[in-house]
A and B are shown apart, each in its own frame.
Chain A
Amino acid sequence: MTVIPAFDAGLLRRYDRPGPRYNSYPNPAQFDAGFNGTAFRDAARLSNDDPIPRNLSLYVHVPYCFHPCFACGGNQELTGNRTRADAYLARLVREVAMVAPLFDCDRDVTQLHLGGGSPNFLNAGQLGELMESLHRHFHFAGAVNRDLSIEVDPRCVDQSDIEALAFMGFNRVSLRVQDFDPGVPVADDRMHPVKHTLGIIEACRKNGFRSIDVNLIYGFPGQSRQAFGRTLESLIRTRPDRLAVYNYADLPQLFSPQKPGLATELPSAESRIALLQLAFERLLVAGYRYIGMDHFALPGDEIALAQEHGSLQRNFLGYTGQAESDLIGLGVSAISHIGDTFCENPRNLPAWESAIDSGRLPVCGGLQLNADDLLRADLIQQLICRGVIDIPTLEQRHDIHFLAYFHEDLLRMCDLAIDGLVETSETQIQVTSRGRLLLRIIAECFDRYLHQPRAEPARLTSAI
């Protein structure tokens, strides 16, 4: 089932262009601003009405950071003022109390992810209060069957913080790591001391965290192969269970801490691809499996096993081995995916605050998926998680004639077939080893919105 990817720098260079990341289909850029709390309530009610309602996943967004993180792609507010955290927490707790009763109480929470920003901007006491409120309003699955994860900025925690997180029940940690090597990114003024970050990883292991995920950012201005290689070596030695390598997204119009004008100092596409190749080769040699998109995992990890069994899923929280669930997003800019509905909270803090203060669900955008969206979402999910499009399954599930329905999409895919990224037969479209690193490009052929003028390319990140 798992096709080992082949690294071909020339090929990657040729397809190096902006594209969606397919954490969802359609992309949030397609959301309709007319959505509100009524749509959210309806979606929740409908999801309760299923004969076996899905389990729940929770995403809680904490927008604050101590430091402007050079590579941050998340919605964030810089502040050193911790009292803002108290105010934010109080509103989060109110949102939890508003949202939770909309879901039947026999629906277990199997996944919780705290992201940001830096969730550890909230101190242990505040995080404890948040967890207490979530446990009071939702029913969590037993400890063995739930993933409670938190994104941690290793610069802002010490060993005792990690101990406190473990005590609160967190069993997965996601560390955002920029380059360790102090000689490198000139534009970034705060380095991760190698020792400190490695110490945090050690502390997570000691405190029984089930999984340590590292998000490693590459492609900074002036980043050298040698320095990046050293960073990789130090990290690989700690054996994180999952490792994602992200290209530094140059989108200053969306992510304010990134300085405009940096684009000229960024490494060329060639050097960027060379850095990726380095990461790719080192990780495979070290025994990691390539999962898809930017993600690698150790062979025994849940997502590597799920990939083997063909049960891998991808949602807003990334790849997961958990069964499909309904995702509830809490906090500013959080997105919910309930049944066939997406709902989005305001991206701007005052709008979210005023909704909560007036006792309204803060939903301000979203999308009701139609039959075409559902079909394409299913297809793209198969492609990105299993590397194959199974034609009879899609035809049966969605009652279509595949070739007729996807005539134009398949024409778009012709060049990719000629380049050997996919192999097609009557019953399936199989991603080849050459195509494994270009899943996004293949998926794009089937993205109806990309081929309509409505799509907004400005919000997309580079394909590689």
Chain B
Amino acid sequence: MSPPAIRSQRSSPIADDGDALHFCSTCAFSEVCLSQGLDKSALNELHVLVEHVGPFHEGEHIFREGDEFTAIAAVRAGTVKTYVLDPSGQEQVLGFFLPGEVIGLNAIHQSRYPCNAVALDTVMLCRFSFPKMALLATRLPGLQAQLFKLLSLDIGKAALLAGDYSADERMAAFLVSLSRRYGQRGFSPTRLHLTMARTDMANYLRLASETISRVLRRFQKDGLVLVNRRELDIQDLPRLQELAKSVLRD
């Protein structure tokens, strides 16, 4: 007899799956829709196309720069990386999207996606047809407000790391941000699985790969974190938050 399957991998948090009638637990829109008295069946009646897509496997592209923009998508499971290639062909990482977060928002003002989106592990998405959603937003002020909120979050995230911060501050801000975002979606805020490669982290934080490891080793020595391969346990969140304060401005 083969042994019972290992129940789930702590490494890949997945949202409670929604169905025809229920929203996924991480859904970026469920709250506003429900507060407007719209459950999922009501959305269906309004012909808002909500479509579960995936799985996308590690390295698979979800969209590429220049693809026609038709939909935004919420991540249900896994991590998505967005990036552009600079004129010399070098990759520039724009961001990482965790379960419950929405990709494609930066395409709204054009009719094409301005960046590439790639799965870092096994990714499941929930895709919303954007024209339909925009139309619905005109009728639901709450949904419109939620869209604006998501947009401003997206812009804010990109601007944060542009300042003149030390490597320690950048790394702390990155970890605190991941911790908050996982925490908000009901996952552990202190036990993080880092799905992004060291080079991706380095690229995103504008640091060298070796610096990423050097800073994490120092954090580990100081009792801030404990790193075991891709697993990172935050041991002293208050001190990390203190370090991240200037970057996160709160």
Q: Given A48-B198, A51-B194, A51-B232, are A400 and B209 neighbors across the interface (CB < 8 Å)?
A: no
Cα of A399 to Cα of B217 in the assembled complex, Å: 26
Q: B197 and A49: CB pair below 8 A?
A: yes
Q: Is A448 an interface position by the 8 A CB rule?
A: yes
Q: Is A104 an interface position by the 8 A CB rule?
A: yes
Q: Is A97 an interface position by the 8 A CB rule?
A: no
Which of B4-12, B20-28, B97-105, B137-145 interfaces with chain A?
A: B4-12
Q: A49 and B199: CB pair below 8 A?
A: yes
Q: Is A405 an interface position by the 8 A CB rule?
A: yes
Q: B227 and A52: CB pair below 8 A?
A: yes
Could you tell me the dominant secondary structure of chain A's interface residues?
Answer: loop
Q: Is B201 an interface position by the 8 A CB rule?
A: yes
> Which of under 10, 10 to 19, 20 to 34, or 35 or more describes the interface residues of B?
20 to 34
Q: B198 and A49: CB pair below 8 A?
A: yes
| A residues in contact with B106, CB < 8 Å | none
Closest to A106 in B: B210
- B190 → A minimal CB distance (Å): 13
Closest to A401 in B: B7
Q: Is B1 an interface position by the 8 A CB rule?
A: yes
| A residues in contact with B1, CB < 8 Å | 408
Q: Is A404 an interface position by the 8 A CB rule?
A: yes
Count A-B contacts at CB 8 Å.
54
| B residues in contact with A339, CB < 8 Å | 229
Which parts of B171-218 form the interface with A (CB within 8 Å)? 194, 197-199, 201, 209-210, 212-213, 216-217
Q: Is B230 an interface position by the 8 A CB rule?
A: yes
Q: Is A371 an interface position by the 8 A CB rule?
A: yes
- A382 → B minimal CB distance (Å): 15
Cα of A51 to Cα of B201 in the assembled complex, Å: 8
- A390 → B minimal CB distance (Å): 15
Cα of A372 to Cα of B3 in the assembled complex, Å: 8
Q: B6 and A50: CB pair below 8 A?
A: no
The contact string, 1 if C-beta is below 8 Å from chain A, for chain B 1-42, is 101101111100000000000000000000000000000000
- B147 → A minimal CB distance (Å): 34
Cα of A375 to Cα of B5 in the assembled complex, Å: 12
- The residue that A51 contacts in the complex, of B6, B9, B10, B213, with Cβ under 8 A, is B213
| B residues in contact with A54, CB < 8 Å | 229
- The residue that B6 contacts in the complex, of A52, A400, A408, with Cβ under 8 A, is A400
Q: Given A106-B209, A404-B4, A408-B1, are A52 and B9 neighbors across the interface (CB < 8 Å)?
A: no
Q: Is A53 an interface position by the 8 A CB rule?
A: yes
| A residues in contact with B201, CB < 8 Å | 51
Q: What are 22 A-B residue pairs whose CB atoms fall within 8 Å in the complex?
A: A48-B199, A49-B197, A49-B198, A49-B199, A50-B198, A50-B229, A50-B230, A51-B212, A51-B213, A51-B227, A52-B216, A52-B220, A52-B227, A53-B198, A54-B229, A104-B210, A106-B210, A372-B3, A399-B8, A399-B9, A404-B4, A405-B3
Which residues does A use to contact B, with CB under 8 Å? 48-54, 104, 106, 339, 371-372, 375, 398-401, 404-406, 408, 448
